[in-house]
Structure formats: structure tokens, C-alpha cells
Structure 1
């Protein structure tokens, strides 16, 4: 990788992911702005208005995955920059469910292009440390949510500024990551480096192990992002500042991902996923029976659970199914985000009903319960596979 400035590209990638993550935190704060006490939308309507953040992400991932190899990582990155910019401007101008839906769609597409381009970039720059470096890269998803949550709290709750000012803070990381990518030489994807044909890449995504991981991605992403995206409504009766709980959860996630290398070495990806599912289930169950200060304890357990889900799912595919290439990573990310677009309105409907918040959390806890069984099976399978490979 001659003339490739890995440090600058990795920093630029992290800032692009910070922009993506900040949109999640700021959107969580916008729930009360556009909700029954603000613009007047029901929680179910907000669920539909926010859904494009996730299915827009999916569309961009599915389109962007194959195009990364065809057009190159650089072009997809600039597509992310443009759609991010358009989405931010439209969000500032939003004043109804329809305008919020359209703005959120552009933001979601921008977020999807970031993942479609930059997960393969990180994997190609660090071929011998994929899971470790993807975890380090994804430090900045929870890290960005912490930044966005604190900025949202400061601008709206402390400084009493308008919600448009809060949304405008997204331009800061956007412009910086755009500047850092300007004029940089960007390597080709790992699949292109390995010389894997398009035919083999498309065939490899029908591998039963890959399809199993896609199915699990539906549940891991919904458990994590379905819950955190609706944190304002879920915890408004439990704590005074739900957005600070969101920052707390994501602070724990950022620290966990920063030191993921040691955990990966001890547990292997399949072991990490099993323990993650167990902690996620316990954390969600605890959130149904706690309030006040104990909410932070429950949130900490939940945070430990979801910390390694997203990057380890991607790392597992990159490490054990490399022939799926950028398409495989895009399908994984797209499946995860699509599942959240389905879950959000369902959660909204549950929360609009009587006793809905507890019911919503209990319903969400079913997902990691299924994952415990699935990842236990995966761990057993991978141990047998490794023993067979050694023989």
C-alpha cells in the first residue's frame, strides 16, 4: 500500500463514523421535539418518520456494497458526504412527519454509504488485524453518540438554544472528514487485492454460515439500536435526563471497543457474541424493573452486552468469510439497519398503549434470548471446525 496515509485515512473514517453516530443521538433528542408534547406526532408516527434512517441505510449498503469494488472506495465516500450534507440541511428545515421522513432518509443513505465504503477500507488497510481494527473503528459509533448526546443536552437543556442549532452541530465533523479525505490515495478493497471474482463473491453470500450470520444480525442490531434510538421515551419516567443515560451507555461501549483486541484474543469472535447476548438479555430485563439511580446500573449491564455486537459481527464475516468481500459486509450492515426500521414502529405502538414502556422492553428482551441459543450453537460449531482444520 504505497503512498497510502493509513493514519489520516483511519482518522477521516472515524470522523465520518462520528457524524453518523451523532445523527442517532440527535435524532433520539428530536423524539420529544416532534412528539406529542412538541409538534404533536404520536410515538408510532415518529417511529415511521425515523424508520428511513435505517432502511435508507440498508438501501445505501446494498447498493454501495457492490459499487465499492466497481467505482472504488473514494467515490462512495464522497456520495456519503453529499447525502449527509443534504440530510442535515433538510432536517433543520423539517416541520412535519413528511419533511422529517425525507430528511431522515437522506441522513440514513449517507450513514449507509459511510459503512459501505469505510468498513472495507479498514479491513483492507489492516488485513492481519481485522476484528481488532474494526472494533477500534467502531469505537467512534458509541463515541459519536456520546458526543451527540452531550451536545444535545448542552444546546437544548443547558443553554436553551433551538433544536436547529443542535442539528447544525453535525456540520463540524462532516466538514472535517471531508477535508481529511481530499487528495488522499485510497487502496482497493481486500476482495480486489485477493483476486476473488464477482461470480465467486456473489456465490459466497449463499454460504449457510453467512446466511446464519445475516439472520443473527437482524436480532443483534434490533436489540442495540431499537432500544437506544427510543431511549427518550423508554426512560422518561425512570430518570430525569434519558439522553445522559444514552451517553453513559455509549461511553461504556466506546471504552469496551477500544480494548477489544485483548477480549478477541481470549474469547474469539463467537465467544464474544455469546457473552454479549447474555449481558444484553439481563440488561434489558433489569431496565423493566428499575428506576432512578439503579437505571444506570441496568444500563451498564445492557451496554456491556451490546458493546461488541456490531463490529464483531462484521469482524467475524471479514475474518472467516473474506470471499464475501465488501458485498458481505454491506449485506450484514444493511440487514441490521433494516431490522431496526421494522422494530421502531412496533415499539412505538407498544409504548403508545397502557403500560407500554414495560411491555416494549420485555418484548425487546426476547431478541437476545434467541441470540443466546444461536451463539451457543455457533461457538460449538466453530470449535469443531477449528479442531477439524488443525487435524
Structure 2
């Protein structure tokens, strides 16, 4: 007979998500270094970064369809193998003739590993904590910004003492080996949908419901607002402040604290109230980041961090609680939708970023010539000035997304309040 240990499973899940977030935090911190060392354009960096985001939905959607059949344990062993391969290949990049393809493939492996972790761990947490899903999903997902804090601070301090990016990436091997060992030795329950006896027909009908489709589309916006901005913040603000990487760490730190105290906030405000408040704060934070400078950027980072704190776990928790028949597939389709949207948006914005820089260079100048100009030269100074204009402009374009979410979540708030009131009246009749 299986001996299920919810606490140990939760700890191992948090470690797996820690590796996922370390990959985001460390890669965000070393992206500029990789671009310089391997002579990569903004477009190429965007393609590499975007690979993590489309590798994620590829794995999370496939995982969502097969997790009920093969079990959560097999998926998490696959995640462990993919994480290990991706980390080792990234470290080995300098030994290849081209830097682009090893970074592309290793990022794809890591993205698929990250998606596989989400595909298994979100339904696992919902299964082992059936009466407290949204709160425990917030507690689980605090390890995502937690890993970004650790990753970005590692990058900052390793750079300060002169340790290279390969050592920074290598730090991910330790938690990877630990979570792999834990999952190999632990027993797993079946998913909540399988335990409840919900049929495949019921599951597919639920993911075609108007409410699920609405949340599915909203996930595009919440994911882009949070993950695109966080992954690119060091590049976007590089020539506006010398502390771009610390702004990312501050934003993520706010997310950690917010998700740690999610229980009373979610219960007091309701998930829809939390989502509406999150959209308002995200929009305000992005507006300030795109227009402020100096110390006000840290204020903007705090406000933005408060805004994006509850987006991802509350979206998943809302679907799990209000459309329970969708099961693991519903949660994983939500995660896949978010990451897919980020991948497309990142690639598009990479080209847009290069175009803005080119427009702000002297007439007749070529982008590649100015990008590779020697430090201290007139060309290098002009390129830095163009970057300082391009970064905030990208942030201001992205600001449109949380503004749209304010309208969408405002409507959802009143819809759910009316539906819950009607259900209560029906129950009391």
C-alpha cells in the first residue's frame, strides 16, 4: 500500500520550482554577458529567451494530456533529466564553434523541464491540499520569485567578485539533484480528477466553457506582464540605471513576501478581487518604470512586484476551484497559454527593441557596427544612449496589457459576485 507523504511531496515540489525560477533569474542576469561573449544581437537574444517560454508550453500541454495516464512521478523524473541536460549544455557552450545553437537547445531543454515541473506539481499540490488550493498554490509559487531573488543576487555578487557565468549556472545542479532524489523515492497519489471519477468527456466539456476560455485568454496578459518584464528588465533598464538586476531582485522579493501571506488576502478579497487589484498595481508599476529614474525606479519595482505577485497562482487556483472538472489538463492549459504568449511576445519585442535602437542612432549607422563598438568610443556612447531610449519605450508599450486586464478582471469580479449570490439564494430556497 502506498504511503503518501504530503509534506515531503510539497517540499520536493518547491525545490523543483526553485530550479525552474533559478533558470529564469540567472539567465536574466547573464543575458547581457552572453550577448557580448557570443556576439548575439537583440533579436538572437530574444529568440534564445523566448525558447524557454515556448519550450514550457510544449511540455506543460503535453504533460496535461498524459499526466492522468502515466502519473505525476514519471513526469517529474523526466523534468529532472531535462533540467540536468540543459544545465550541463549551457555550461559547455564556449566549447562549441557557435554560441547561438547550444544556448538555444539548452534553453529549450530547461524550458521543457520547467513546463514538466508545472504540469505535474500544480495538480499534485491541488491533490494533496484539496480544501486549500489557492492558498497552497500561492505558497508553492512563492518559490518562483524566491528563486529569482536567489538567482539575481548570485549573478550580482558573482560578478562583483569576478566569477564567470558558467559557475553561476552550475549552482542550479545542487537543488536539481536533491529534488530528483526526493521524487525518485517518494510515493505519489493519483490526480484529483482521477480520484473523483470525472470522465474525459466531462473534462473536455469544462475546458470549452465560456468561463474557462475567458480565463485562458486573460492568462496571456497576466503572464506577459509578469514574465516578459522580469526576464528582460536588466536589459531594458541597463542604460537607465546601473542596478537593473537589483530591481529584478527587489520585485521578486516583494512577490515572495506577498505569496507567503496569500491565505488571509485571498480569503478576504476573493480571487477575483485579488486579480483586479493586481492588474491595477501592475499597470501603475509599469507606468512608473517607463517614466521614472533614480530611486523612483525602486519604488516602481515595489509597486510592480505587488501587482504581479498573485497573478499566476491565483489564475490557476481560480480555475481549479471554479472549474474543477477541468482537472490537471485545465491547470496545465492555463500555464501553457501563459508561457506561449510570453514566447511570442518576447520574440516580437526583441525585433522591436532593435528597431527602436536603430532609429535612435546617427543617420546611416548600422546596428551591428555600433553594437560591437569599442568601450569608450563615440559609437559605443551613441549605442548606449539609444538603448536608454528603447528600454522605457518597450515598457510603455507593455503597459497597455495590464490596462486591458483591469477592464477584464473588473467585469469578472462583478460577474462572479452575481453568480455566487445567485447560487447562495438557490441553496437557501
Global fold match (TM > 0.5):
yes
User: How far off is 1:158 after superposition?
Assistant: 1.9
Aligned to 2:253: 251
Q: What is the aligned counterpart of 1:210 among 209, 212, 216?
A: 212
Give the SS at the match of 1:237.
coil
1:238–1:290 Cα contact (<8 Å) kept: no
Equivalent residues in 2 for 1:366-381, closer than 5 Å: 366-381=400-415
Cα distance in 2 for partners of 1:257, 1:212 equals 24
User: How far off is 1:34 after superposition?
Assistant: 2.1
Cα distance in 2 for partners of 1:115, 1:32 equals 28
Cα distance in 1 for partners of 2:30, 2:153 equals 14
Aligned to 1:196: 198
Does the alignment pair 1:233 with 2:235? yes
2:148–2:252 Cα contact (<8 Å) kept: yes
Aligned to 1:14: 14
2:220–2:337 Cα contact (<8 Å) kept: yes
Aligned to 2:298: 296
2:215–2:315 Cα contact (<8 Å) kept: yes
Larger mean Cα displacement after TM superposition, 338-347 or 217-226: 338-347
User: How far off is 1:185 after superposition?
Assistant: 1.1
2:77–2:184 Cα contact (<8 Å) kept: no
Q: What is the aligned counterpart of 2:187 among 177, 185, 205?
A: 185
Give the SS at the match of 2:111.
helix
Larger mean Cα displacement after TM superposition, 92-101 or 330-339: 92-101
Cα distance in 1 for partners of 2:84, 2:221 equals 30
Deviations 1:29-61 (A, max 9, x none): 2211122x3322111210011111011000001
Cα distance in 2 for partners of 1:65, 1:345 equals 25
1:74–1:186 Cα contact (<8 Å) kept: yes
Aligned to 1:117: 120
Does the alignment pair 1:152 with 2:186? no
Aligned to 1:142: 145
Structure 2 portions without partners, runs of 5+: 361-388
Aligned to 1:385: 419
* Bigger Rg, which one: 2
Aligned to 1:61: 60
1:350–1:359 Cα contact (<8 Å) kept: no
Cα distance in 2 for partners of 1:310, 1:2 equals 32
Q: Give the TM-score normalised by the residue count of structure 2.
A: 0.89
User: How far off is 1:346 after superposition?
Assistant: 2.3
Give the SS at the match of 1:230.
helix
Count of residue pairs brought into register by the alignment: 389
Aligned to 1:88: 87
Aligned to 1:25: 25
Deviations 1:123-167 (A, max 9, x none): 000000000000000010000111111111122x12211211111
Cα distance in 1 for partners of 2:341, 2:33 equals 25
User: How far off is 1:178 after superposition?
Assistant: 1.2
Cα distance in 1 for partners of 2:254, 2:349 equals 25
User: How far off is 1:8 after superposition?
Assistant: 0.8
1:284–1:298 Cα contact (<8 Å) kept: yes
Structure 1 portions without partners, runs of 5+: none
Cα distance in 2 for partners of 1:289, 1:159 equals 32
Give the SS at the match of 2:399.
helix
2:13–2:121 Cα contact (<8 Å) kept: yes
1:350–1:357 Cα contact (<8 Å) kept: no
Does the alignment pair 1:360 with 2:394? yes
Deviations 1:350-369 (A, max 9, x none): 32223321220111000000
Cα distance in 1 for partners of 2:314, 2:292 equals 29
Over the aligned positions, Cα root-mean-square deviation in angstroms equals 1.2
Does the alignment pair 1:107 with 2:132? no
Larger mean Cα displacement after TM superposition, 216-225 or 287-296: 287-296
Aligned to 1:312: 314
Cα distance in 2 for partners of 1:179, 1:71 equals 19
Does the alignment pair 1:3 with 2:37? no
Cα distance in 1 for partners of 2:348, 2:231 equals 13
Cα distance in 2 for partners of 1:9, 1:311 equals 18
Cα distance in 2 for partners of 1:320, 1:270 equals 11
Larger mean Cα displacement after TM superposition, 357-366 or 310-319: 357-366
Q: Give the TM-score normalised by the residue count of structure 1.
A: 0.97
2:133–2:321 Cα contact (<8 Å) kept: yes
Aligned to 2:45: 46
